[in-house]
């Protein structure tokens, strides 16, 4: 959750930047803003921006607090780290790694540096000196965050004429049917913050007695997030068809998200498989914990799984297990619900959300879902939510054994 909170702060700061400038100027503005406001949180000391000119990349700007007196302002495009960067979109390297030219070590103000490719054709490269000691997971997040928010601003103006198509994509992600499972009530609803959004949910028929339930949140808004959510939904559906174990399926989906070039590459996912007898097997990939309300009054958070999909291609995921008894209610949601504000800096919050559910356990899944959205709308007083909001509720109504 700390990554998503930081990402949202960065996204808000970048969202307001003026885009009425040339491409390189816009990139410089974004990088300056991100490093000046969030460099310490991201673990990045300074940066350098290069532009491709034929067979070389030319330094056009230094960014951040550490300004160096650099004589070497050109890097050959065939230099091994640059070839690797153009292929993989970002790299993390160390001073003594094989392939680092000793004549170019003057660029390094720390033992670790990292770089990202920017623009649809990798026209720009940005390299960064990072804080020591370096946390690998944080650095994956930092590089992907900077790359996404920068590329998003570059594409922002060109997105306007494809909003209708994006809306079609958004609608195609959501189930076009209500689930009818003997002994259960299942109902889901999703409301985007913008014309389109990055939240989605899906039902997947695993077998006659097993149903897959997924709720995902691609970080960001608009078309890039919608495209990322589409990729995640498609990947899940293909994984189900392949009939592979859940943890392997999620690991494979994580690698697919990591290779994506169209959007944020950060997707939180809660995926579970509900058996008719009440067994529920799940994986939580960086998503807000689903809540299991027991008929006796206790509430359990379903946290077992791993990190968000996308930043780290080698991330591992573990399954969790719970059992739904008659009267139990499973609530899967996106953080747009609990983080909705009232206009005065106060969030709706998890405790208020839990209390709302806990005092209405007698309602049907559909009615309970609708009361949540009514409550959130009343709390915020807004026509549209601040962030995409998704909720799926599963209520076990009877014992079929």
**Using 50, 70 and 90 to split pLDDT, how confident is the model at 376?**
very high
Residue 168 lies inside a defined structural domain of this protein: no
pLDDT at 72: 57
Regarding predicted confidence, which is higher, 23 or 107? 23
166 domain residue, yes or no: no
DSSP classification of residue 219: E
Nearest to 271 by CA among 200, 327, 222: 200
Final residue of a structural domain among 131, 160, 189: 160
**Same domain as 65, residue 91:** yes
Same domain, 17 and 134: yes
CA atoms within 13 A on the CB side of 188: 24
Q: What is the pLDDT of residues 277-310, one digit of tens each?
A: 999 999 999 999 999 999 988 999 999 999 999 9
Quick: pLDDT tens for 211-228: 999 999 988 766 777 778
Give me the CATH number covering residue 96. Answer: 3.30.450.40
Residues 104 and 233 in one domain: no
Please tell me whether residues 128 and 240 are part of one structural domain.
no
- The fraction of the chain above a pLDDT of 90, given in percent, is 37
Residue 18 exposed, middle or buried by CB count within 10 Å (0-12, 13-18, 19+):
exposed
Q: Which among 160, 182, 203 is the end of a domain? A: 160
Q: Which domain holds residue 386?
A: 174-396
Residues 72 and 95 in one domain: yes
Query: Burial of 86 by CB count in 10 Å (0-12 exposed, 13-18 middle, 19+ buried)?
Result: middle
Assigned domain for 321 exists: yes
Pairwise pLDDT comparison (195 vs 361), residue with the higher score: 361
Where residue 14 falls among pLDDT bands split at 50, 70, 90?
confident
**Strand 305-306 relative to strand 279-285: parallel, antiparallel, unpaired?**
parallel
Q: What is the mean pLDDT of the chain?
A: 84
Calculate mean pLDDT across residues 139-161.
Answer: 77
Q: Are residues 151 and 182 in the same domain?
A: no
Domain-located, residue 191: yes
The domain tally of the chain equals: 2
Higher-confidence residue of 298 and 193: namely 298
More confident residue, 15 or 190: 190
**pLDDT band of 163, cuts 50, 70, 90:** low
For 43-76, how does the pLDDT look when each residue is reduced to its tens digit (9 = 90+)? 888 888 999 998 888 888 888 765 555 555 788 8
Residue-level pLDDT at 73: 77
Encode pLDDT of 240-285 as tens digits: 877 788 999 999 999 988 887 654 568 999 999 999 999 999 999 9
What pLDDT is recorded for position 214?
A: 96
Q: 105 and 216 share a domain? A: no
Same domain, residue pair 281 and 208: yes
Same domain, 342 and 368: yes
Same domain, 246 and 335: yes
Of the pLDDT bands very low, low, confident and very high (cuts 50, 70, 90), residue 389 is very high
Note whether residue 32 is domain-resident. yes
Structure-token match 């960064």, residue found: 128
Using alpha carbons, list the distances in angstroms from residue 189 to 70, 332, 366, 371.
55, 11, 9, 12
Residue 132, domain member (yes or no): yes
At 326 the pLDDT is: 95
Q: φ and ψ at 314, to 5 degrees?
A: -105, 10
Band of residue 178 on the pLDDT scale cut at 50, 70, 90: confident
Domain boundary, last residue among 114, 133, 160:
160
- Do 190 and 148 lie in one domain? The reply is no
Say what the pLDDT of residue 7 is: 82
Residue 102 included in any domain: yes
At 397, the pLDDT band (50, 70, 90 cuts) reads very high
Strand-pair category, 184-191 with 112-118: unpaired
pLDDT of residue 104: 52
The answer on 228 and 131 residing in a single domain is: no
Asked if residue 209 belongs to a domain, the reply is yes
pLDDT at 1 over 50: no
pLDDT digits (tens, 9 = 90+) for 112-147: 778 888 887 888 988 888 877 777 788 888 888 888
CATH number at residue 184: 3.60.40.10
Predicted pLDDT at 107: 46
């Amino acid at each position: 959750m700390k990554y998503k909170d930081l990402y949202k702060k960065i996204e808000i700061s970048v969202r307001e930047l003026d885009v009425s400038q040339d491409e390189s100027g816009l990139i410089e503005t974004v990088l300056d803003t991100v490093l000046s406001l969030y460099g310490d949180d991201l673990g990045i000391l300074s940066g350098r921006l290069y532009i491709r000119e034929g067979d070389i990349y030319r330094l056009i700007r230094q960014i951040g607090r550490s300004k160096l007196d650099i004589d070497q302002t050109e890097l050959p495009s065939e230099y091994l780290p640059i070839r690797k960067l153009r292929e993989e979109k970002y790299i993390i390297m160390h001073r003594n790694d094989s392939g680092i030219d000793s004549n170019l070590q003057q660029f390094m103000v720390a033992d670790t540096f990292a770089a990202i490719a920017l623009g649809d054709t990798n026209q720009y490269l940005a390299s960064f000196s990072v804080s020591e000691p370096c946390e690998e997971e944080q650095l994956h997040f930092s590089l992907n965050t900077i790359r996404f928010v920068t590329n998003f601003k570059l594409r922002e103006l060109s997105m306007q004429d494809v909003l209708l198509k994006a809306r079609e994509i958004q609608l195609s992600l959501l189930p076009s049917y209500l689930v009818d499972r003997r002994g259960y009530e299942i109902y889901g609803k999703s409301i985007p913050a913008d014309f389109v959004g990055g939240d989605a949910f899906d039902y997947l028929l695993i077998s006659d007695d097993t149903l897959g339930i997924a709720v995902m949140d691609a970080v960001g808004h608009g078309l890039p997030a919608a495209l990322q959510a589409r990729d995640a939904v498609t990947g899940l559906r293909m994984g189900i068809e392949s009939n592979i174990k859940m943890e392997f399926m999620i690991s494979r989906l994580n690698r697919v998200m990591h290779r994506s070039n169209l959007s944020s590459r950060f997707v939180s996912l809660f995926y579970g498989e509900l058996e008719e007898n009440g067994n529920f097997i799940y994986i939580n990939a960086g998503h807000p914990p689903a809540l299991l309300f027991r008929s006796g009054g206790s509430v359990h958070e379903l946290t077992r799984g791993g990190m968000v999909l996308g930043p780290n291609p080698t991330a591992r995921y573990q399954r969790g297990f719970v059992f739904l008894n008659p009267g139990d209610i499973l609530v899967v949601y996106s953080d747009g619900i609990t983080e909705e504000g009232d206009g005065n800096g106060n969030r709706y919050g998890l405790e208020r959300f839990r209390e709302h559910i806990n005092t209405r356990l007698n309602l049907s899944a559909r009615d309970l879902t609708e009361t949540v959205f009514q409550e959130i709308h009343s709390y915020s007083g807004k026509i549209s939510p601040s962030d995409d909001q998704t909720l799926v509720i599963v209520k076990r109504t009877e014992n079929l054994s």
